[in-house]
Structure formats: C-alpha cells, structure tokens
C-alpha cells in the first residue's frame, strides 16, 4: 500500500514539475536529466517493494521490467541529447 501511495504521489508531482519549469522558463537539459533519473529511482524502488511485499509480483518479472525500463530510458536519453 505504501509503495502504491508513493507511486501516485510521484505521478502527481512529476506531472507538475515539467509544466511548472516551462511556465517559469527555467527548463534545462540538466533538469530533464534529473527528472528522468528521479523517475528511474521511483520506478525501481516501487518495483522492488512490490517484489518483496505482499501482494508480491514475480521476482523474475519485476527484474525483467526494471532491465527493460532502464534500457528504454537510456535509449531515449541518448536520442534526445
């Protein structure tokens, strides 16, 4: 439950930070990288928590998801740089 609440809080805050940065005209490549990095941390922590806490998801499925998500994020960051 805590992981899901934290995930929803992250989604809400993540949805606000980009538009706020653009509105205040302070967007930057560094901010974009930091946002992506923080997204990766949140997704990783939530996935790990779901693997070790009830209701559990498969460790293999969770690990595969983290590897694929990290790879997709890395490719997107390289493409956008």
Look up the pTM and report it. Answer: 0.70
**pLDDT per position as a tens digit, 26-39:** 878 788 788 888 88
Residue 46 is predicted with a pLDDT of 83
Give residue-wise pLDDT tens across range 45-73. 888 888 888 778 889 998 999 999 889 88
Q: What is the pLDDT of residue 68?
A: 92
> What string of H, E and C letters represents the secondary structure of the chain?
CHHHHHHHHHHHHHHHHHHHHHHCCCCCHHHHHHHHHHHHHHHHHHHHHHHHCCCCCCHHHHHHHHHHHHHHHHHHHHHHC
Please determine, for residue 4, whether its predicted confidence score (pLDDT) is greater than 80: no
């Amino acid at each position: 439950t805590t992981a899901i609440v934290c995930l929803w809080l992250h989604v809400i805050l993540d949805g606000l930070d980009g538009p706020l940065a653009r509105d205040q005209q302070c967007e930057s490549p560094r901010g974009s990288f930091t946002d992506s990095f923080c997204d990766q941390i949140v997704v990783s922590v939530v996935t790990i928590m779901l693997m070790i806490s009830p209701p559990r998801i498969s460790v293999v499925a969770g690990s595969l998801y983290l590897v694929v998500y990290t790879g997709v994020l890395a490719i997107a960051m390289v493409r956008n740089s």
